[in-house]
Each structure stands twice: as C-alpha cells, then as structure tokens.
Structure 1
Amino acid sequence: MVPPRELDPASKRELMLMLQDFTTESTRYAEGVRRLHRLGHSDVHALAEIMRGQREGAPLRAGDVARRLVISASAATAVIDRLVKHGHVVRVMDSGDRREVVLNATASAAATGKAMFTAMDNELAGEFAQWDPEEIEMLRHRLPQLTEAIRRAQAAASVEESGRAE
C-alpha cells in the first residue's frame, strides 16, 4: 500500500473545485429531469435507494428510506405514498417476516429512470469510450472510495451538528 501523502494546497483546491463542478452539474441535470417527470427531490432519492436495495438483495422498509434520506418517518411515508400513487413502488409483505412490509420498485420506476438518465448515460459513455482501459479501471477503483469519503464526511458533519444542538 502506498503511504498517504499531503497534496499541495493549490492542487487540493483545484481538485475540490473540479469535484464541486461535477457534482453541481450532475445535480442540475437530475433536478431538471426530475421536474420533467414530475417527481420530487426526495422521490428520486427514495427510488434510487429502493432500487439499490433490490439490486443488492436487501429490500428496504419505510424506516430504511427515512434513515438513508435523513428525513423523518412521516416524511418518508409521504414520499413512499406518492411513489405508490404514481405506480413506481409497491408495498409487499416480507417473505421472512410477515409482519414487515418491504418496498419494491416497479417496471414503471425502471422505465422512468431510464427515460430520465439515458441522455446523461450516453454522454458519459461517449467520454469513457475515449479513455484507456487503465483510466476506466482507476475510476472504477477510486469512485467508490470517494463516495465512501463523502459518507464519512456526512457522518462527521451530523455528529458535529448534533453536538451544537445540545
């Protein structure tokens, strides 16, 4: 393993600004397409989490959605109710515990997601097609690390914020 090294302040700032630009543009894209499809901000995030749970074989419950979106239980229920009303999610009895209800995304959710993100997927795929396999592999390796760093930062910021509230 390579020992950690300090990045010079100018390079660090440049990288942080580049990442900020990328996330800002990604957010603008997502906000624009979600409005076209008449979905709320939390609706899109809830759907993404529900679909991730399904892909990973760990279906979510309403409480899981609330925790992952950092919203109240009542707000999560309202989001889920809207998604059910629009046909994007169904509530299903958990086969392992019939007292529990899990959330499943429908074919409608998948079709809407595809409609929303095909343009972005195509553009990014066009960029990736110009990269060397080593660059793709580096991105595949590093993006999850950057994502986990953001999760740790979120947890740290939440701890700091909860300390201020006391």
Structure 2
Amino acid sequence: MFESRIIRLSKEISDIVDPMQPTGSPSPDADVAAFAPTRPATVLLREFIELSEQFERSIGEELEVNPTDLQAMEHLLMGGPLAPGELARRVGISAGATTTAIDRLVALGHVTREPHPTDRRGILVVPQESSRDRAMGRLMPMIMGIDAELDAFTPSEQETITRYLAQVVERLRGHAERRAPEE
C-alpha cells in the first residue's frame, strides 16, 4: 500500500515537472510547477507538514482555543509553568497579546495564574492537569504510532532516516528563524 502510494505520487509529480529538465532560477513570476518537488520523499514531507497542521487545528478545536493560545499551551505543557514574559518570548507575541491569551486560557480552565515562588511580584502561568491529560490523550497515540513505524526498518535504515530528518529539521529551522519582536 505504501509503495503504491509513492508510485502514485511520483506519477503525479512527473505530470507536473520533468525532473531531468532544469527549472530555472526562482522569481516572483515563476510558474509554481517549476518548483514542485520531484522526489516522493519531498512530496510525503509536504503532506506530513499539512497533516500535522490539520492535526494541530483539530486539537485546538477540541480544546476550544485559537492557534496562538494552542501554541502558548504547547510551551506550558512541554516546559512547565512559565512567567508571562517568558511565555511571550517563546510564542513570539507582545506582552499585551500574551495577557489576552492567558486570560482566555484561564477562562477556559486550561491554566491558572499562581504566585512566583521566588519573586513575590511575579506570577507563573501553570497548565492544568486536566487540559494536559486531554491534549496528551490525543498526542501520545499519534506519537507512539509514528515511532512504531520505525520498527519496519533495520537499525542502519533507521540511522539513515534519522540523519535525513535531522537535515530537514535544520533546513526548516534556518528558514523559520525570525527577528525578535521590537520593543
């Protein structure tokens, strides 16, 4: 089934682009087809990214939060309690937008504001266990299922897959870097 899907995707790609022909240099007026990926792995990565975004939207809908609030929740669930300023920095939003997001998350019962244990003027935004359990209840089966797919490959093949994905992550990281918000 997997191989037939790759073959189908490869044929769809070759209908768009002849991999043996140069695509020319990128320009704003360029034909999108000239930049279509020509390898099945690249097509599958694009589909993986799209499905990941769809999955994330689904979790956001289930938790009744918008994308910014979901991103804040992800940082809190993975990193534990955070000061509002640190949360703002990690999400990449202003202090005012962070306050609004925290207010919404508090109103929904996803987080609480608690006194900072060492800074009597500060507060921490603390994720609630019930929200963590709901989110992880959706995430963990997906994560474990993806991880189990590696069992079909030899250790050597797994190393190759890992090396390729590490390079893809670094490439994406380089393109995703953004300037820090101006104060």
TM-score (norm 1): 0.68
Find the partner of 1:60 among 76, 82, 97.
Answer: 82
% same residue: 27
Residue matched to 1:74? 96
Contact 1:50 1:104 in 2 (8 A): yes
Alignment of 1:66-145 (within 5 A): 66-136=88-158, 143=165
The secondary structure found in structure 2 opposite 1:92 is: strand
Residue matched to 1:4? none
Matching residue's letter, 2:57: E
Residue matched to 2:51? 25
Matching residue's letter, 1:67: R
* Structure with the larger helix share: 1
Which structure's CA Rg is the greater one? 2
Alpha carbons of 1:154 and 1:122: their partners in 2 closer, same or farther (altered >3 Å)?
Answer: closer
Residue matched to 2:3? none
Matching residue's letter, 1:153: H
Matching residue's letter, 2:146: L
Higher mean C-alpha deviation, range 62-71 or range 23-32: 62-71
Matching residue's letter, 1:80: I
Q: CA deviation at 1:32?
A: 2.0
Residue matched to 2:7? none
Matching residue's letter, 1:132: T
TM-score (norm 2): 0.63
Matching residue's letter, 2:76: I
The secondary structure found in structure 2 opposite 1:129 is: helix
Unpaired stretches in structure 1, ≥5 consecutive residues: 1-8
Alpha carbons of 1:92 and 1:154: their partners in 2 closer, same or farther (altered >3 Å)?
Answer: same
Matching residue's letter, 2:88: A
Alpha carbons of 1:94 and 1:122: their partners in 2 closer, same or farther (altered >3 Å)?
Answer: same
Q: Distance in 2 between matches of 1:25 and 1:104?
A: 29
Q: CA deviation at 1:113?
A: 0.8
Residue matched to 2:32? none
Deviation per CA, 1:109-158, whole angstroms, max 9, x where unpaired?
Answer: 21111233244235314423323344445556665664454333222x54
